[in-house]
Amino acid sequence: MELLEQLCRVQAPSGNESNLTRFLLNYIEQNQSAWKVRPEVITGRAFQDCILLVFGKPRTAIFAHLDSIGFMVRYGKQLIKIGGPDTESGYRLVGRDEQGEIACTLQVSEEDGRLSYEYEREIARGTELVFQCDFRETAETVQSCYLDNRLGVWNALRVAETLEDGIIAFSCWEEHGGGSVGYLAKYINEKYGVNQALISDITWVTEGVRPGQGPAISLRDSLIPRRSFVMKLIQIAKTAGIPFQLEVESSGGSDAKELQHSDIAWDWCFVGAPEDNVHSPDEIVHKDDIRNMVALYRVLMQEL
């Protein structure tokens, strides 16, 4: 879990993913020689802060978003949300402006719910603040801010170790409206002919999706993937004997929305471990679900 903790500590709210991009490029450079196949690494201005890893002769792409939710300083001591963070007075927030490192406290007005910060000075407008990382590990669980989606990124990096044929796409802006998957998907489809995808992201613990019972294969959230493609995944998981759960929700979304709304015939499915305390400093995931998420992705990338 050391790598996961490092990922959770990198500050990368939507729109400012460059810190995590640099971290990943450095990690890939240092570790790819030990992977089964050394990938082509595609990055640079044309891809903004996104990264593509291309292995062998790809048939399927994994999409994992780099960004997190957070807050941005408005005027005075006002804060506005980046994405949909949980808000509770007393949450510890960290960031940096031209005057140096910042560690402040979130304040939520009891009267109108407006957000502000408590700090010894005024923070420069436009400064991004994120939850202070308190990474906790037990025999059964990991708990931290930003397991959504640093765990999805971690999963993709673990799959990369043994991947022979496939693409891993690290995307941006997912928590605040998306925007990068459209051009990544177009490039992937036009250059490699790939039009099927797995979404490596983290879902919710609900009354029907429980911790410790396997990653969720999502039949629907706010979107509905093509049933024949999802049934193919389910059959592969059953044959492999890997525990999983079926998720059926009426809301929520992921990088899949840009695939669904594109003018290219993409098949996709969200496959991810469930977490509790969503979008808070205390997100928690069961280790069995983490292990089975990696195992499921490895077999799906072989069989699809």
Tens of pLDDT, residue by residue over 175-194, are 999 999 999 999 999 999 99
- Return d(Cα 294, Cα 244) in angstroms, integer: 12
Of 250 and 237, more confident: 237
- Assign 128 to helix, strand or coil: strand
Tens of pLDDT, residue by residue over 215-228, are 999 999 999 999 99
Tens of pLDDT, residue by residue over 243-284, are 999 999 998 889 999 999 999 999 999 999 999 999 999 999
What pLDDT shows up at residue 211?
97
| pLDDT of 30 higher than 90 | yes
What pLDDT shows up at residue 143?
98
- Return d(Cα 209, Cα 215) in angstroms, integer: 9
Domains of the chain: 2-68+136-303 (3.40.630.10), 70-131 (2.40.30.40)
Query: CB of 53 within 8 A of CB of 36?
Result: no
- Return d(Cα 112, Cα 110) in angstroms, integer: 6
What pLDDT shows up at residue 252?
85
- Assign 78 to helix, strand or coil: strand
Q: Which long-range contacts (CB under 8 A, 24 or more apart) does 71-76 make?
A: 71/106, 71/115, 71/117, 71/128, 71/129, 71/130, 72/13, 72/126, 72/127, 72/128, 72/129, 73/117, 73/123, 73/124, 73/125, 73/126, 73/127, 73/128, 73/129, 74/125, 75/125, 76/116, 76/122
